[in-house]
């Protein structure tokens, strides 16, 4: 058959035997997610621009309020109300304040083998379960909502072979930042990043999400893993079954293959203002910080919270530094409470926020001021992303963020522990 996982998913969604990179096909979309970043605009378009406003299948839609949650001004509140009223009127699944959209989607909806559109660039996260998730704008979203269909340009696939094991204190987060640093912020534009090998297989689904989630930061259409026992177990624990369990054929065509030995990865940071300006934490120099952030659809899950707690336990964050922690969903929040992690954070002087996008997107809670420096487990470090246009964002692992919050400057976690 000579197809990759992504090609197989697209072929099945297009009702075709075979598709190849470069072709444009009309596909049926399995599920559509939209959040408060743009849904109000899609609803306005639905109400004013369509000749025949209709919803192809309301059961495929999910609306999630997570970006500015809870609302911090009347205009945001109005956008939320528009979304809530529309969901209510049309019987669309609706989540408000329950967590970051991609985490909710993974916990509640995503199945291996599905093709999912989300009106959010990090929809590529769902590749952790072997689904083809990709971000679209609200016009694409609206078209798919009305027709149940969309078009895709079949992307070529880059394959990343992961071997070896991470050393102590090195995390999937360091790996994905390293990869983006190597291939560049447009190194995978319009392509798929497929992760494979023993190193990929050894990761649990949450860890795979860290990788898949940031594929878009290299420009990729999605990041994807072959669904295996870990995926099946995750689905079973969440009460679901896979749609398809696709694997890339041995003779599938990959545009390029990369090899990474996990044991050689170092703790790294991405320096402002580009995700691909990646250096070892030790090379970053003396950088004082004003705020740390642990959370987001990239790194707000139980693994990251455990790591942060192990570093913060019994210690206090540096005077004048703010450390924000936002669990990726209420499910994560509950588990962290049960494991006593929240008590550790509260005692260390951190602020524990409700599950939301927080400063990762910079529209609401935790925004930083003029000239301030943030170290974050979020997805982007663009200029002005976290607040004031003259502020700076460094991206790093939860361990590096926690350690830096203790030191008041960017440091490697093992330096603080020692």
- Touching other proteins, residues 280-319 (CB under 8 A): 290
Minimal distance in Å, beta carbon 260 to other proteins? 23
Contact 295, 328 (CB under 8 A): yes
Q: Which of 73, 168, 239, 250 binds other proteins (CB under 8 A)?
A: 73
Minimal distance in Å, beta carbon 418 to other proteins? 28
Establish if 94 lies at the interface with other proteins (CB under 8 A): yes
Taking residue 75's Cβ as centre, other Cβ atoms within 10 Å add up to 11
Q: Which of 17, 286, 389, 418 binds other proteins (CB under 8 A)?
A: 389
- DSSP-assigned letters across all residues of 315-373: --PPTT-EEEE--SBHHHHHHHHHTTHHHHHHHHT-EE--SS-GGGTTSSTT-B-TT-E
Output 174 or 372, the one with its CB closest to other proteins: 372
Give the whole-angstrom CA distance, residue 147 versus residue 264. 48
Binding positions for other proteins, 119-178, rule CB under 8 A: 119-121, 123, 135-140, 142-143, 146-147, 151, 153
Minimal distance in Å, beta carbon 191 to other proteins? 9
Q: Which of 224, 262, 309, 342 binds other proteins (CB under 8 A)?
A: 342
Q: Which of 1, 263, 347, 417 binds other proteins (CB under 8 A)?
A: 347
CA dihedral 154, 160, 166, 172 (to 10 degrees): -20
Output 168 or 319, the one with its CB closest to other proteins: 319
Contact 185, 270 (CB under 8 A): no
Per-residue DSSP letter, 51 = S
Establish if 41 lies at the interface with other proteins (CB under 8 A): yes
Structure tokens at 91: 């019987």
Output 36 or 107, the one with its CB closest to other proteins: 36
Minimal distance in Å, beta carbon 333 to other proteins? 6
Output 111 or 221, the one with its CB closest to other proteins: 221
Taking residue 153's Cβ as centre, other Cβ atoms within 10 Å add up to 12
Contact 3, 11 (CB under 8 A): yes
Backbone angles phi, psi at 180, to 5 degrees: -65, -40
Q: Which of 13, 33, 79, 297 binds other proteins (CB under 8 A)?
A: 79
Establish if 267 lies at the interface with other proteins (CB under 8 A): no
Backbone angles phi, psi at 201, to 5 degrees: -65, -30
Give the whole-angstrom CA distance, residue 153 versus residue 6. 11
- Selected range binding other proteins among 164-172, 181-189, 199-207, 225-233, rule: CB under 8 A: 181-189
Q: Which of 17, 52, 241, 314 binds other proteins (CB under 8 A)?
A: 52
Minimal distance in Å, beta carbon 183 to other proteins? 12
What is the pattern of x (binds other proteins, CB under 8 A) and - over residues 7-26? -----------------x--
Give the whole-angstrom CA distance, residue 397 versus residue 170. 8
Minimal distance in Å, beta carbon 84 to other proteins? 6
Minimal distance in Å, beta carbon 4 to other proteins? 17
Output 4 or 222, the one with its CB closest to other proteins: 222
Minimal distance in Å, beta carbon 44 to other proteins? 8
Minimal distance in Å, beta carbon 166 to other proteins? 28
CA atoms within 13 Å, Cβ hemisphere of 128: 30
Helix (H, G, I), strand (E, B) or coil at 24: strand
- Selected range binding other proteins among 96-104, 171-179, 224-232, 407-415, rule: CB under 8 A: 96-104
Q: Which of 102, 159, 243, 322 binds other proteins (CB under 8 A)?
A: 322
Give the whole-angstrom CA distance, residue 323 versus residue 320. 10
CA distances from 3 to 25, 117, 154, 224 (A): 15, 21, 11, 14
Binding positions for other proteins, 200-259, rule CB under 8 A: 216, 219-221
């Amino acid at each position: 058959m000579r197809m990759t996982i992504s090609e197989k998913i697209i072929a099945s969604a297009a009702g075709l035997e075979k598709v190849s990179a470069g072709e444009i096909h009309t596909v049926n979309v399995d599920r559509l997610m939209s959040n408060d970043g743009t849904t109000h605009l899609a609803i306005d378009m639905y109400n004013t621009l369509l000749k025949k406003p209709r919803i192809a299948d309301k059961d495929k839609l999910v609306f999630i309020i997570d970006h500015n949650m809870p609302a911090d001004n009347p205009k945001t509140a109005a956008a939320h109300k528009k979304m809530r009223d529309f969901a209510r009127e049309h019987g669309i699944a609706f989540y408000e304040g329950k967590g970051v959209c991609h985490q909710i989607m993974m916990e509640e909806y995503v199945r291996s083998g599905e093709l999912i559109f989300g009106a959010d660039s990090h929809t590529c996260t769902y590749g952790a379960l072997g689904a083809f998730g990709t971000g679209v704008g609200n016009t694409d979203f609206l078209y798919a909502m009305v027709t149940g269909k969309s078009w895709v340009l079949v992307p070529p696939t880059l394959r990343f072979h992961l071997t070896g094991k991470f050393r102590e204190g090195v995390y999937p987060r360091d790996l994905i930042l390293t990869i983006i640093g190597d291939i560049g912020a447009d190194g995978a534009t319009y392509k798929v990043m497929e992760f494979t090998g023993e190193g990929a297989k050894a990761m649990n689904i949450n860890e795979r999400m860290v990788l898949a989630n940031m594929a878009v930061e290299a420009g990729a259409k999605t990041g994807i893993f072959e669904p295996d026992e870990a995926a099946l177990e995750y689905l079973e624990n969440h009460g679901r079954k896979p749609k398809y369990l696709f694997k890339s054929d041995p003779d599938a065509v990959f545009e390029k293959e990369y090899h990474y030995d996990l044991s050689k990865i170092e703790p790294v940071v991405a320096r402002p203002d580009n995700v691909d300006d990646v250096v070892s934490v030790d090379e970053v120099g003396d950088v004082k910080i004003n705020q740390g952030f642990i959370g987001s659809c990239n790194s707000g899950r139980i693994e990251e919270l455990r790591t942060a707690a192990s570093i913060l336990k019994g210690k206090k964050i540096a005077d004048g530094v703010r450390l924000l922690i936002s669990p990726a969903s209420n499910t994560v929040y509950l588990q962290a409470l049960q494991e006593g992690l929240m008590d550790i954070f509260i005692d260390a002087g951190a602020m524990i926020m409700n599950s939301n996008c927080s400063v990762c997107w910079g529209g609401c809670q935790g925004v930083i001021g003029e000239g301030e420096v943030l170290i974050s487990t979020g997805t982007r470090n663009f200029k002005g992303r976290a607040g004031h246009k003259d502020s700076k964002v460094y991206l790093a692992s939860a361990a590096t963020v926690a350690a830096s919050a203790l030191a008041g400057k960017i440091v490697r976690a093992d330096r603080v522990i020692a």
